[in-house]
């Protein structure tokens, strides 16, 4: 029934109509205000970073015990959210799912923006950012940080290619549409070699297939290795064999939440109802429910056994999380960022666009705070008691500079997605046309 409706809608679309619908459009007032706000937030973050460069990390609230704060949790968040690129583009593509085509580019640009800002925010956290090159001239393979640098760089390159190669046929369409305009030169520079010959199509298909296969292990690696930055230490709350899988499950959930939010926003403001249909929200909603269940499972797995044992070294940490100073945040993240969205999306009405948007926001915000809860509480529960240190060393609440930089980086990632959508088609034009033709063919 639904499938019939879906093809009926597509049936009424001509190739030309698809092109004009999907070509990037100028922003309206709301789009402009949104962009300006993001730019301002980025500038405030940049200003705070300049201050940090001058004075040192003393401008943060991090001290010897809470030696990692929201910079690191923000880094983990960015890596997590970028994983969705591989889920939608690779996992769904390889399993022969076609309905996700209009979502691939949204997922891929979120991946590129996420991984870019993950790399930037990790440099912000360094005490000596000007020595970043030491990682390359003195790098030691034994260190999980070097593993992380390696896989994140690889993931970045593959993600860029997975964004770029499928963009080539669209680049040709955009060149035709933008003759004589400012952006023409950019499109020409990026894609003038694409002639659309059968040979080029064959090569591009092959390349995307290879990349889609390659990105799956790399995606698993980036987040598993990121979890190992914690799990390779002895500390209560990090010393866990569950950490890799726990991080991956959480990352897919966070990324899918972000895609749901982006789907809603692009559909509404770019008027893409014919391309991102209720059907898409329904299917994406079901995927999110599955991922939330998976994440719930890994959460239970992560906490039930240590709580059952209540080892002396872990008791203070676990109490802090479940009933102590971190409990309000912890339960908000678990209930608001996982359980409530999951129950919402269990119902067909919950999988309509607007409820999906709300659920997506809850998931993403919950995910951000969950990352904070993974990083900092552990550091505030060391093996030896915190004693005879200044009072500020025993607690952590991010300073203005940290908030400004963290928010600036989030705004920066959103700005990348926004500007991309301004200058490139957020839904693949050529692929949509081709799939329509295929469907018509099947229909006859």
What is the crossing angle of helices 15-22 and 429-443, to 10°? 150
Which residues have C-beta within 8 Å of that of residue 278, sequence separation ≥ 6?
Answer: 352, 353
As to burial, measured by CB atoms within 10 angstroms (0-12 exposed, 13-18 middle, 19+ buried), residue 234 is: exposed
Of 91 and 135, which has the nearer Cβ to other proteins?
135
- Distance, first Cα to last Cα, the chain: 18
Of 231 and 411, which has the nearer Cβ to other proteins?
231
Strand, coil or helix: what is 357? helix
Tell me, what DSSP letter sits at residue 403? H
**Closest to 191 measured CA to CA, from 429, 21, 417, 15:** 429
Of 96 and 385, which has the nearer Cβ to other proteins?
385
Q: Which of 96, 138, 182, 441 lies at the binding interface for other proteins (CB under 8 A)?
A: 138
Q: Binders of other proteins: how many residues, by CB under 8 A? A: 46
- In the block, residue with structure tokens 């209560």: 236
- In the block, residue with structure tokens 């939330």: 292
Q: From the CB of 381, what's the least distance to other proteins, in Å? A: 11
Q: Which of 290, 382, 431, 435 lies at the binding interface for other proteins (CB under 8 A)?
A: 382
Q: Which of 44, 146, 307, 358 lies at the binding interface for other proteins (CB under 8 A)?
A: 146
Enumerate residues 53-72 that contact other proteins by CB under 8 A: 55-58, 60, 62-65, 67-68
**Closest to 292 measured CA to CA, from 348, 253, 344, 255:** 253
Q: Which of 26, 30, 140, 441 lies at the binding interface for other proteins (CB under 8 A)?
A: 140
Q: With beta carbons less than 8 A apart as the criterion, state whether 415 and 35 touch.
A: yes
Q: Which stretch binds other proteins (CB under 8 A): 136-144, 243-251, 314-322, 355-363?
A: 136-144
Position 384 contacts other proteins (CB under 8 A): yes
**Closest to 377 measured CA to CA, from 61, 72, 66, 63:** 66
Locate the DSSP E strands across 293-352. none
Of 31 and 382, which has the nearer Cβ to other proteins?
382
Q: Which stretch binds other proteins (CB under 8 A): 139-147, 160-168, 208-216, 262-270?
A: 139-147
What is the crossing angle of helices 353-379 and 278-309, to 10°? 30
Site track 236-275 with other proteins (rule: CB under 8 A), x = hit: ----------------------------------------
Of 362 and 406, which has the nearer Cβ to other proteins?
406
Enumerate residues 179-238 that contact other proteins by CB under 8 A: 229-230, 232-235
| Residues that bind other proteins in the complex, under the rule CB under 8 A | 55-58, 60, 62-65, 67-68, 125-129, 131-132, 134-135, 138-140, 142-146, 149, 229-230, 232-235, 379, 382-390, 393
């Amino acid at each position: 029934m639904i499938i019939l409706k879906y093809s009926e809608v597509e049936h009424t679309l001509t190739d030309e109509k698809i092109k004009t619908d999907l070509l990037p459009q100028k922003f309206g007032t709301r789009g402009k205000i949104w962009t300006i706000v993001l730019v301002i937030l980025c500038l405030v973050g940049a200003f705070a970073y300049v201050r940090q460069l001058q004075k040192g990390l003393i401008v943060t609230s991090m001290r010897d015990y809470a030696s990692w704060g929201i910079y690191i949790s923000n880094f983990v968040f960015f890596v997590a959210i970028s994983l969705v690129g591989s889920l939608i583009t690779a996992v769904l593509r390889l399993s022969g799912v076609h309905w996700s085509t209009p979502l691939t580019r949204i997922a891929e640009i979120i991946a590129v923006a996420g991984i870019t800002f993950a790399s930037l925010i990790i440099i912000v956290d360094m005490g000596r950012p000007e020595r970043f090159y030491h990682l390359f001239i003195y790098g030691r393979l034994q260190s999980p940080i070097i593993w992380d640098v390696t896989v994140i760089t690889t993931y970045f390159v593959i993600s860029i290619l997975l964004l770029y190669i499928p963009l080539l046929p669209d680049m040709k369409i955009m060149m035709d549409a933008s003759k004589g305009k400012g952006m023409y030169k950019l499109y020409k520079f990026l894609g003038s070699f694409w002639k659309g010959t059968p040979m080029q199509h064959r090569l591009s298909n092959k390349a995307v297939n290879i990349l889609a296969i390659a990105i799956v292990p790399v995606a698993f690696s980036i987040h598993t290795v990121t979890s190992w930055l914690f799990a390779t230490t002895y500390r209560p709350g990090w010393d866990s064999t569950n950490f890799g899988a726990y991080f991956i499950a959480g990352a897919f959930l966070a990324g899918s939440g972000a895609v749901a939010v982006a789907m809603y926003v692009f559909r509404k403001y770019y008027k893409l109802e014919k391309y991102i249909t209720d059907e898409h929200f329904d299917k994406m909603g079901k995927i999110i429910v599955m991922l939330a269940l998976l994440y719930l499972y890994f959460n239970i797995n992560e906490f039930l056994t240590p709580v059952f044992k209540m080892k002396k070294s872990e008791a203070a940490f676990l109490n802090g999380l479940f009933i102590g100073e971190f409990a309000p945040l912890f339960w908000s993240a678990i209930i608001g960022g996982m359980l409530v969205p999951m129950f919402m999306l269990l119902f067909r009405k919950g999988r309509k666009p607007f409820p999906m948007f709300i659920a997506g926001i809850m998931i993403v915000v919950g995910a951000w705070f969950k990352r904070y809860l993974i990083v900092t509480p552990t550091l505030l529960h060391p093996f030896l008691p915190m004693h005879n240190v200044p009072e500020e060393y025993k607690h952590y609440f991010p300073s203005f500079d940290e908030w400004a930089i963290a928010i600036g980086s989030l705004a920066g990632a959103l700005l990348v997605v926004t500007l991309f959508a301004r200058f490139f088609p957020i839904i693949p034009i050529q692929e949509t046309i081709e799939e329509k033709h295929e469907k018509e063919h099947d229909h006859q």
